[in-house]
Structure 1
Amino acid sequence: MSAPASAQDWNMDWGGFHNTHVGYVSVDSNTAAHVGADWDGVDTFTNAEIHFTPSVKLDNGLTFGVNVQYESKNTGGAIVDESFMFIESDTLGRIQLGNENSAGYLMMVGGADAQVGGAFGINSASISGFIPISTGVGGNLPWNFRQSAISQWTEVLGNNDVPRITYFTPSFNGLTLGVSYAATVNGGLSAANSPNNAGNNAGVNRNIGVTDIWDIALGYEQSFNGVDVAFAARYGTAENNTGAPGTNDPEVWGVGGTLGVAGWIIGAHYGENDNGGLAPDQEGWSLGVGYDIAGPWSVGFDTFQGEWDDNAGGEAEYEAYQLAASRSLGKGVRWTIYALYAEGSINGDPAGTFGNANTEVEGTLIGTSVNLSF
């Protein structure tokens, strides 16, 4: 009779990051909500989290652990962001159970991976921290979270950190497969200030709403002869039970890659959200180029381009460009300077989908950041 698996001491690990930006922004806008507004001036923006990741490795080789991530800014979405258990080993791969993004989201690579450390996140909703480009702050773009017009990291219909089951295979010569399942796109009984973070479902009625979200992703990472290569492809879909006329099942897909050689790194991606008539369709692409100069400095350029299409003649566009330079000041401390330009435009809106026909919001930001990782 074999002996039961016994636990070793728990590794009570923790870490996180705290990135603070200070910048001067100049904004031009002709949306109705911005009439008479003056957005020019100096401001700050902080993105920060604390991560608790305790784990224990059993005698049978399995590691059990949890990952709990706390937002240190309430405007970041929730006090608790991701929260999940994981089980992993070299032969099993990795299982994740709880509130976390899908395998497709987690495995995607692209232009943002070539971005200079500490530069501003132009491929995220964070840009509205300085430039009021989203409708939520009077701008003109429907800033749909986790969708292709603003980010390389996307989800089916923009679901985020819902209760989910994910499995990653072990790496076979750099090749990894990931698959995820979530019962619903909604967060259920989550924190009142953020309905898609760290909450349980309150039972899921498969006859209403959007349910049964599946994601599959393939990733490849390898280094040979001084060349680092990474590639990812993903697809996701869900069941549309809304009964809304003219709608169908939403889908998401994307491909991306990075190439590193002789201090250079180049990254790019392309992705689409076909939202099945439940929301405007979206597509986007990113490109980033970075170079590590001998010594503590690195420099780079990145861009993001996104489009919305309501399939009724209405279209919206987002474009952003950034130059950055970054210096390592020591372990886990980085100082960055950057200049960026971002613009949102509505080219036509006959169906009134976007509510801001023939408008533009554009801004230029000159900024610096101190970035701590621990």
Structure 2
Amino acid sequence: MADEYLIMMTVSHSCDINKCPITGKLFGENKMKKVLLSGVALLAMATSAQAEGLSLDLSGHFKGYGVYNNNDEAAGVSLDELNIRKETEVHFTGETTLDSGLTVGVHVEADVDRDDNGSIVEESYMYLSGGWGRVNFGEEDGAAYLLQVSAPNADSNIDGLRQYISTYNSTGTAGGANIRLDYDQVAPGSSKYNKVSYMTPVFNGFQAGVSYIPTMSDDGNGRTAVNADNTAGDYADGIELAARYEGAFEGVGVAVGAGYGTYDREAKAAGQDDNKTWNAGLDLDFAGFGLGFAYLDTNQGLTGSNDQTTMVVGADYQMGAYKLGASWLNQETETAGVKADVERYTVGASYSYGPGMSFRGSVSMIDNDNNIDSTQVSLGTQVNF
């Protein structure tokens, strides 16, 4: 992937694409779909120029931890305390640049630790890029995530934008739920939906992106029959818009971004609504110190007082191969006007012992309004290849 392009963040928007107050004004009735979809077709035609075949690169990561968790328990239940947790991915990227200057690539990510009864393919998409920007087509994160600004953290696998390592049992019962305390979601499962995204080049540190998701689909089989329209539980006509700026002022590094997304909820039942989510973030860096916050608000696809908000404040300090970090997260979930809070406090350190290799250690304390609290100590390593 070209270094000149920032990672893009995804936002979802659940209004009708023709009536949306944002896209409707920008593109007019029925034009948003045509602009995005026909744009991909035109760019694909440009690949007819001759050049060398795609070169294949292999990459990925292994994240492995020993985790001790002192978790509150329901009456009569005894929970495990010591576990091993890991997250492993293998990435395949084929890319070439044509004589015309157009870069063409295909990217596939395999989640090696996926359950045996699930597909290991996590992402599968092609991309086209040039001086005009970049288009992604297929199963890939949308603009809201790819441009999202996250807060500094103690360990990105524990308290980062996406949480990969956690043994928290939020009910204290056998087979209890592990609530995810990350803040990257637009609509349920939206990161895996097939979509088309466009992101601009970076102009003086500024970049914007837009994604369109026709249906809630991540089918890998090109011959799969179309789904029935207006099916309960499905989302369609998703739109994500995002913008991000990175620069420096008087020696202070600044990253700021925001995104909005909406997905139409089909066959709405009483109390259900289109899913609407927005986020914002700010990160400041000076002389090795980092300080920032991130905020996410979603209506959870429900009407009335049923919003969920997530606020994160983090700080870190980088000194050579060593990093110290801390963060605080508050997730407030409203159900029929009744609010419930979960707070997480995390401190940790890491040491880079080689290129793409790091030892990591952290302590996370979770305070839940349901009185099922947890203290988790995690020691592990991440190896990128």
Normalising by structure 2, report the TM-score. Answer: 0.79
**CA offset at residue 101 of structure 1?**
1.7
Residue 45 (structure 1) aligned with residue 85 (structure 2) = yes
User: How does 1:1-374 map onto structure 2 within 5 Å?
Assistant: 5-30=49-74, 35-75=75-115, 78-89=119-130, 91-111=131-151, 114-117=152-155, 120-121=158-159, 124=162, 126=164, 129-133=166-170, 138-139=175-176, 143=179, 150-187=181-218, 189=219, 202-208=225-231, 209-277=234-302, 280-293=306-319, 295-310=320-335, 312-345=336-369, 359-374=370-385
CA distance in 2, matches of 1:200, 1:256: 41
CA distance in 2, matches of 1:138, 1:330: 38
CA distances 1:198-248 after superposition (whole Å, capped 9, x unpaired) = 988742544334310011001111135432211111111122331423433
Report the 3-state secondary structure (helix = DSSP H, G, I; strand = E; otherwise coil) of the residue aligned with 1:290. Answer: strand
CA contact (8 A) 2:170 2:176 kept: yes
Gaps of at least 5 residues in structure 2 are 1-47
CA distance in 2, matches of 1:15, 1:200: 30
Q: Mark the CA change 1:27 to 1:246 in structure 2 (over 3 Å): closer, same or farther.
A: closer
**CA offset at residue 363 of structure 1?**
0.9
CA contact (8 A) 2:357 2:381 kept: yes
* Amino acid of the structure 2 residue aligned with 1:130: T
CA distances 1:288-340 after superposition (whole Å, capped 9, x unpaired) = 101012x3211010122111112x24433221111101111011110111111
CA distances 1:255-307 after superposition (whole Å, capped 9, x unpaired) = 112111100111211111113427953110111101012x3211010122111
Q: RMSD of aligned C-alpha atoms? A: 2.7
CA contact (8 A) 2:295 2:312 kept: yes
Match of 2:8 in 1: none
Report the 3-state secondary structure (helix = DSSP H, G, I; strand = E; otherwise coil) of the residue aligned with 1:160. Answer: helix
Q: Mark the CA change 1:218 to 1:118 in structure 2 (over 3 Å): closer, same or farther.
A: closer
Match of 2:26 in 1: none
CA contact (8 A) 1:122 1:303 kept: no
**CA offset at residue 13 of structure 1?**
1.1
Q: Mark the CA change 1:37 to 1:123 in structure 2 (over 3 Å): closer, same or farther.
A: farther
CA distance in 2, matches of 1:240, 1:221: 34
CA distance in 1, matches of 2:224, 2:330: 35
CA contact (8 A) 1:133 1:362 kept: yes
**CA offset at residue 362 of structure 1?**
1.1
**CA offset at residue 17 of structure 1?**
0.9
Report the 3-state secondary structure (helix = DSSP H, G, I; strand = E; otherwise coil) of the residue aligned with 1:120. Answer: helix
Q: Mark the CA change 1:261 to 1:251 in structure 2 (over 3 Å): closer, same or farther.
A: same
Q: How many residues align?
A: 335
CA contact (8 A) 1:266 1:288 kept: yes
Report the 3-state secondary structure (helix = DSSP H, G, I; strand = E; otherwise coil) of the residue aligned with 1:29. Answer: coil
Most deviating of 205-214 and 78-87:
205-214
Q: Mark the CA change 1:305 to 1:185 in structure 2 (over 3 Å): closer, same or farther.
A: farther
Normalising by structure 1, report the TM-score. Answer: 0.81
CA contact (8 A) 1:270 1:285 kept: yes
Report the 3-state secondary structure (helix = DSSP H, G, I; strand = E; otherwise coil) of the residue aligned with 2:144. Answer: helix
CA contact (8 A) 1:221 1:231 kept: yes
CA distances 1:31-82 after superposition (whole Å, capped 9, x unpaired) = xxxx322225221110111111110100111111111001110249641101
Gaps of at least 5 residues in structure 1 are 191-197, 346-358
